[in-house]
Amino acid sequence: MSGKLKEVRERIKSVQSTQQITKAMKMVSAAKLRRAQQAIIEMRPYAKRLDKMLRNIVTNLEGDINSPYVADREITKAAVVVITSNRGLCGAFNTNIIKQAIAKVENDYAALRAAGNLTLVFIGKKGYDNLKKRYADCRLVTDYVDLFSDLSYENIAGASQMLMDAFAAKEFDVVDVCYGQFRNAAVQEPKTVQFLPVEKMNAEDLKSKSKADYLFEPDKTKLLDQLIPDILHTTFRKFVLDNHACEHGARMTAMDNATTNAEELMKLLKINYNKARQEAITKELSEIVGGAAALNG
């Protein structure tokens, strides 16, 4: 019986230690989430407006734009950018994004993969670690796996510029991005969107009769040559910052759930410990009473 008590005590200590770790990780993630959430909340309206403006221009000035980033081509080569986190312990966040990437590859680009014309670009170690064996037959780009170590505009723009240059050079005919879209601390939505070529306005936007009514000064061609790449860099930065906020929100939620589960497990273990202790005391009393009865008899 003493062995059982010792085992329960050790489990209680182990759960207490784990609970302290999960509490600390929750607090760290909460602090990081505040900064990441503020960054994406401040940027999202700006990026959304720029994206709408760009699609408006591309849709309504078709034929007057010579930018290589708006050219629709037959899709013979494709790239899928998989944005995950560098670390785990954030629930199903990374798994959901990886599922999005797998669905995109196997449902839309199976023929390109078989022909050796599919490229996977990884941002974040978790995506690469999970998919490197599954898609060993594809071209895997790992130059930006550690992008989250430096989220400056210049560093993120290096990744988006590589994709834009490759698209302009016809190394890719389409570039898709799989990432997590931040809703709130408890909700992160995995998304797959087309980054290149720039998508035209959808039917709902066209029904609203929204048209490009911009005055280009000094020159439309020169202005668009500068404006379109800048907007694309901003859009890609939004993907990364969205995913960054999602990671910390998911980790904070996961650690909060883990802390709560540890508390429930602690209660059960303490009940079991008290039961085992009562059993041990009852057994000892029974032995004492039995021994005394034997002596008196």
Residues assigned a catalytic role: 90
Cα–Cα dist 62/65, whole Å: 6
Phi first, then psi, for residue 166 (nearest 5°) are -65, -40
Half-sphere exposure of 292 (CA within 13 A, CB side): 5
> Could you tell me which residues come within 8 angstroms of residue 98 by beta carbon, excluding any fewer than 6 positions away?
82, 84, 126, 127, 130, 131
List the one residue out of 283, 53, 70 whose CA is nearest residue 194.
Answer: 70
Contacts of 160 (CB under 8 A, 6+ apart): 232, 233, 236, 237
Q: Which two tokens stand for residue 191?
A: 């998304």
Phi, psi of 71 (to 5 degrees): -75, 120
C-alpha–C-alpha distance, residues 97 and 246, integer Å = 11
To which residue do tokens 């009562």 refer? 278
CB-based burial label for 5 (10 Å; 0-12, 13-18, 19+): middle
Cross-strand bridge partners of residue 175: 79, 196
